[in-house]
Structure 1
Amino acid sequence: MPDPAAPGHPRFAGRVAFVTGAGSGIGEAVARTLYAHGASVAATDIHGGAVKELAARVTAEAAPGEAVPAGRFLPLALDVADPDAVRAAVAETVAELGPVDILVNVAGVLHTGPATGVDDAAWARLFAVNATGVFHTARELAPAMAERGRGSIVTVASDAAAVPRVGMAAYAASKAAATMFTKCLGLEYARSGVRCNVVAPGSTDTPMQRSLWEGDTVPRRVLEGDPSGYRNAIPLGRIADPADVADAVAFLASDEARHITMQQLYVDGGASLR
C-alpha cells in the first residue's frame, strides 16, 4: 500500500468527499483539511453563500507552483433535513466530481434550555438536522459505497451525547441518536468495506460555541469547570480549535484507520474523563 504520508502522494488523492455543515467552524475545517490532502470536496451548507465564499478562499490560497492537490472544490447549498435536497446534492456531486468515497456529517444546530422547557419546534429542528440529516446522507451514499466495496463515513457528534449536561438535554439526545445510528450503520455495512465512525468534540472554538459566551474570551467555567452545573474542567486547559477535530476526522477517513469502524473518538481535551 502506498504511504499516504510520502512526498508527492496526497493522503486522499483521487477520492471524493461529501461534507455537510461546511460553511463555518468544524465543517469548514474538515472541508479544508480533506482538500489540502488531495480530495475533491463537495462542501455543503444550508448557507450556500458561505460555502461559495469558502470555495473562493481555498482556491485563492492554493500557492502557485506548489504540489497543490488535484482535487476540486464544489460548493453546494443544502439543508440536510430535506431528503429531496440531499438526493439532489449527492447526484450533482457524483455528476461533477465522481462517486463519493468519504462522507462527513458535520451539519448541526444547537438549542439550550431545561429538558422539559424545550418547545416542539426546537426539538423537531434539532432532530431533523442533527440526527435525521445523518440518516438522509447515509441512506443516499452508503449503498453506493458498498457496491464499490469501500468507503468511510464519519459523523461529528458531541461529547454531550455520552455525558449528561445541564441545559443540553435535547441537543445531547439528538447527538446520541446520530452516534448510535452511525455505529449501527457501521455494523451493517462492515462486510461491504464501508467503515463508520464518530468523532465527539468537546468545547470547540466555533460560532456555535461562541454563541454561549458573553464576550470574546473563553469563560472560566468552560476551562475550569462549573460544579453548580455538574460540568467538568478540561484537563488540557484549552478548548479545541476546529482543526483539531478536522485532523481526527481525516485520520478516521483515511487508510491509516482501515481497521477501525464503529468507534467513537473524543476530541475534548480529556473533559469527558473517558
Structure 2
Amino acid sequence: MVPPTHEDTGLAGKIAVVTGAARGIGAAVVAGLVRAGATVAAVDIDADGLADSAARMGAQVHPFPADVSDSAAVARVVDAVERDLGPIGVGVSVAGVLRPGSICETTDEDWSRTFAVNTTGVFVVLREIARRMVPRRAGTLVTVASNAAGVPRMGMGAYAASKAAATMLTRCLGLEVAGHGIRCNVVSPGSTDTPMQRLLWTDENDAARVIAGSPEQFRVGIPLGRIADPADIADAVLFLASPRARHITMQELYVDGGATLRA
C-alpha cells in the first residue's frame, strides 16, 4: 500500500492514465500519483504484474491490461476509464521495449516491434486522450522517452530512433493543443535501475561501468556518480503533470545525472 502524503501537488482528485505501469518507471509514476491523491488507470501488457502492482498500491489504482501498440485496445481502455472513473486529466506514456543490437544486425521484426510500442504506442495513447481533453480545454500529457533520443548510442539504433520520434511527436501535439489549454512535455531519463536496464548488464560490475563511462563506445559516464532510481524519473513526471508546471509545454527534460552533457 502506498502511504498517503500531505504535500499539495495540485494532482489530488485527478484521473490519470499511466502506461507501462507494472514495473520500473511506470510503477514509480503510479505510486507518485497515488501519493498525490490521484486515481490511476494503470495500463500494461503484463496482466499478472499489473494486478500485483495494483494490489500493492491500493484502491486508487485500477488495472487495465492492454498492448499499447493495439490502437483498438487503447481506445477501449480510454473509453472505459472515462466511463467508469471520470474525465482523464493526466496521461503518462511510459511503456517501452528495448531490443539492443547494431543496426546491421537488427531484424525487421526487432525494428517493427520497437517502433510499434515506443512510437506508435505513444501516438495512439496521446491521440486517444488528447481527443477527449480538447473539448474540455484542460489536461496534461507527459511522454517518458530517453536521453538516447538526443545522443547516438552504439547498439541502440532502433531504440534511440523510436524515442526520438516519440519525443518530436509529443512536442508537435503540444503545439497543436496549446490553444486548448493542454500541455505536452517529455521526460528523458538516462540509465535507471529498472528491469530494462538490467537486461543490458552481465555482472555485478556493470553499474559501475555505466557510471564511469565507456570510451570504446564513445559514451561518457554519469557526472553525478549514480544510477537513477525510478522515483527520480517519476518526480520529474509529476512536476510536469502538475499545476506547478502550468507555463511549461513542448519541453524535454533530461533526467540523467548529466550523462549526455545535454548535447
- Pick the TM interval, shorter chain: over 0.9
For residues 8 and 272 of structure 1, do their structure 2 counterparts lie closer, same or farther at Cα, with a shift above 3 Å needed? closer
Q: Is contact 1:159–1:200 with CA below 8 Å preserved after alignment?
A: yes
CA RMSD between the two structures: 1.4
Q: Is contact 2:29–2:234 with CA below 8 Å preserved after alignment?
A: yes
Matched, 1:263 2:262: no
1:132-178 deviations in Å (ceiling 9; x for gaps): 00110111110211111111000000000000011111100000000
CA distance in 1, matches of 2:205, 2:181: 44
Which segment drifts farther, 207-216 or 73-82? 207-216
Task: Give the TM-score normalised by structure 1.
Answer: 0.91
- Structure 2 unaligned blocks of 5 or more: none
CA distance in 2, matches of 1:152, 1:259: 11
Which residue pairs with 1:63 in the alignment? none
**Structure 2 residue corresponding to 1:107, chosen from 91, 95, 98:** 95
1:46-195 equivalences in 2 (<5 Å): 46-59=45-58, 72-195=60-183
1:14-29 equivalences in 2 (<5 Å): 14-29=13-28
Shift in Å, 1:94: 1.1
1:71-113 deviations in Å (ceiling 9; x for gaps): 7210110100000100111111112210111000000000111
CA distance in 2, matches of 1:225, 1:72: 41
**Structure 2 residue corresponding to 1:208, chosen from 176, 196, 200:** 196
Q: Is contact 1:202–1:240 with CA below 8 Å preserved after alignment?
A: yes
CA distance in 2, matches of 1:145, 1:26: 24
**Per the alignment, in what secondary structure is the counterpart of residue 67 of structure 2?**
coil
CA distance in 1, matches of 2:244, 2:51: 31
CA distance in 2, matches of 1:156, 1:90: 19
Which residue pairs with 2:185 in the alignment? 197
CA distance in 2, matches of 1:45, 1:152: 20
CA distance in 2, matches of 1:194, 1:94: 17
Shift in Å, 1:8: 7.5
Letter in 2 for 1:15: K
Letter in 2 for 1:26: I
CA distance in 2, matches of 1:221, 1:230: 13
Q: Is contact 2:21–2:44 with CA below 8 Å preserved after alignment?
A: yes
1:195-235 deviations in Å (ceiling 9; x for gaps): 00000000000000001111345433200000000011100
Matched, 1:38 2:26: no
Runs of 4+ in 1 over 4 A off after TM superposition: 6-10
Letter in 2 for 1:185: L
Letter in 1 for 2:246: R
Q: Is contact 1:210–1:216 with CA below 8 Å preserved after alignment?
A: no
Shift in Å, 1:51: 1.3
| Count of residue correspondences | 258
CA distance in 1, matches of 2:69, 2:204: 31
Task: Give the TM-score normalised by structure 2.
Answer: 0.95
CA distance in 1, matches of 2:160, 2:117: 13
CA distance in 2, matches of 1:156, 1:177: 12
Letter in 1 for 2:228: A
% same residue: 56
1:185-204 deviations in Å (ceiling 9; x for gaps): 00011000110000000000
**Per the alignment, in what secondary structure is the counterpart of residue 62 of structure 2?**
strand
CA distance in 2, matches of 1:86, 1:33: 23
For residues 8 and 245 of structure 1, do their structure 2 counterparts lie closer, same or farther at Cα, with a shift above 3 Å needed? closer
